Amino acid sequence: MPADALPRWRWVKARRLARWLELRSAPYIAARLVALVRRYGATSAKSKRRIVGCITLLERYQCRPTFPTPGRVVHRDPEFFRKIQNWGAELNVHGYDHIDFLGLSREEANRQFSKAVEAFDKAGIQFDGFRCPYLSYSRALLDALPPSRFSYSSNQAILWNVLPGRQDSTAVFDTLQEFYRPVPCEEAVSSPRLCGEVVELPIGIPDDLQMFDGLNMEPKEIGRAWSAVLHQTHRRGELFVLLFHPELLDDCQDALKAVLDAAITLQPRVWITTMREVAAWWREKAGFSAEVSEHGASLRIRFVCSERATILLRNVVTGAGVIPWDGATQALQSRELEVGAERRPFIGVAGGADAELVGFLREQGFILETGLAAPSCAIYLDANLLTALSNRRRLLDYIESSQEPLARFGRWPYGAKSALSITGDLDALSLVDYAARVFVH
């Protein structure tokens, strides 16, 4: 390091340490220190045993975990991470150092991403996504990403109302809640969304650290809470990215088993998959379309999509082959449909509608008309209605509660109604890795 860079390096290190202390109360630091000493050793043996146990446990459910991992941790033990990748785990970037990205300049954030990419590449680890430590990400950091290296991110938290009446929160719970900055599930739609070049996959919380360390909940209670989130996302047809930490596997593996046991029983099925596969599907689905032509009193629709897509019909009168799917909704067995032309089974959107809103509706699988045919659609969103339903959750609830005929693409492949991914923040392998968070930058 050049001599003139040394004072600046020390200043940056001191600034990061000061911010680390500013974001954490003394009770939080004390509680986490006790927990970490109990769960980790000076070597990585205990941590590796848990991680292998996690992969083995999830394999019984044909489920593969996604482990966001700091580049520094990968750099220290590339052989281990190659092994777990070969065993089926997905790895993605968790910064190079486990630090708060919101306290970094764009240049510092770019350096963190670039060093992590270099560490993963050198170790021979495939990666597609990233998650910032503590979910410390904002869209302003899009410019800090190395070009064309990430296809998805996972940094938005959605808070599910599954802890009613709990008043015994601790410094751990409250501090993590501040870090995560979650959006209430009553206001959010838990589905992927395209953000520039990356697909954002929202996370469902509370997580295991919040419940086990922060609320002193028993594993059975945690399993019930996560299962409640699963049922809510299934009812809404959305995505549940379950966030856990491998350091708690010994304590919370029964909770993971409970939610997976519930997932494999739900109908229509839950798509249990990796985050990489969710992001790839969302991009694939973005290319789907419908070709519509009028033939006298009939409307012929040809759905242009991949083989694993699901075409859903609600209250649509047709002679085409359909099978029951969920309630009044049926799945079309072919890729062509003929219906009466008087009511187009789509969503019409008034001219001048917000482009992001139109994009959001298309991502949910709806087929939109925005031109002269828009007012003749079964559901028509005029300017007044769009103003009244400016919240996307309310807009989606309005559309899905309508009894008007509607044809759409299902959100998920293979006839699934919802999706579940298990992601474990693999922050460290040893106490040495944890010390590096504060003292090594």
| Residue 235 CB neighbours (<10 A) | 12
pLDDT at 243 over 80: yes
Q: What is the pLDDT of residue 35?
A: 66
Cβ-proximal residues to 398 (8 Å cutoff; 6+ apart), any chain: 385, 389
Q: What is the pLDDT of residue 426?
A: 93
* Chain centre distance of CA 411: 14
409 compared with 372, residue with greater pLDDT: 409
Q: What is the pLDDT of residue 221?
A: 95
pLDDT band, residue 15 (cuts 50/70/90): low
Mean pLDDT of 335-354: 90
Give the least confident one: 8-17, 152-161, 216-225, 359-368: 8-17
Helix axes 219-236, 249-263, angle to 10 degrees: 30
pLDDT at 21 over 60: no
Q: What is the pLDDT of residue 25?
A: 58
**Percent of the chain at pLDDT above 90?**
69
pLDDT at 353 over 90: no
pLDDT band, residue 115 (cuts 50/70/90): very high
pLDDT band, residue 300 (cuts 50/70/90): very high
H helix and E strand count, the chain: 15, 22
Q: What is the pLDDT of residue 438?
A: 59
* Chain centre distance of CA 148: 20
**Percent of the chain at pLDDT above 70?**
89
pLDDT at 174 over 80: yes
Q: What is the pTM of this model?
A: 0.91
Domain spans, the chain: 7-266+419-439, 289-411
pLDDT at 70 over 60: yes
- For the chain, the average pLDDT equals 89
175 compared with 414, residue with greater pLDDT: 414
Q: Could you tell me which CATH class the domain 7-266+419-439 is placed in?
A: alpha beta
First to last CA, the chain: 14
pLDDT band, residue 295 (cuts 50/70/90): confident
Q: What is the pLDDT of residue 441?
A: 47
pLDDT band, residue 167 (cuts 50/70/90): low
pLDDT band, residue 103 (cuts 50/70/90): confident
pLDDT at 141 over 50: yes
pLDDT at 24 over 70: no
pLDDT tens-place string over residues 376-416: 999 999 989 988 888 899 999 999 999 999 999 999 999 99
pLDDT at 48 over 70: yes
Q: What is the pLDDT of residue 78?
A: 97
Q: What is the pLDDT of residue 411?
A: 98
pLDDT tens-place string over residues 121-140: 999 999 999 999 989 888 88
Mean pLDDT of 247-272: 96
Closest by CA position to 137, among listed 172, 116, 106, 161? 106
Mean pLDDT of 9-31: 55
Mean pLDDT of 83-107: 93
Q: What is the pLDDT of residue 1?
A: 47
Q: What is the pLDDT of residue 354?
A: 87
Q: For 292-334, what is the HEC assignment?
A: EEEECCEEEEEEECCCCCCEEEECCCCCCCEEEEECCEEEECC
141 and 198 Cβ atoms separated by less than 8 Å? no
Write the DSSP assignment of 350-377 as a string of letters: -TT--HHHHHHHHHTTB-EE-STTGGGE
At residue 186, what are phi and psi to the nearest 5 degrees?
Answer: -70, -15
pLDDT band, residue 22 (cuts 50/70/90): low
pLDDT tens-place string over residues 185-220: 999 999 999 988 899 999 999 999 999 988 989 999
Peptide bond into 268 cis (omega under 30): yes
Cβ-proximal residues to 393 (8 Å cutoff; 6+ apart), any chain: 186, 187, 188, 189
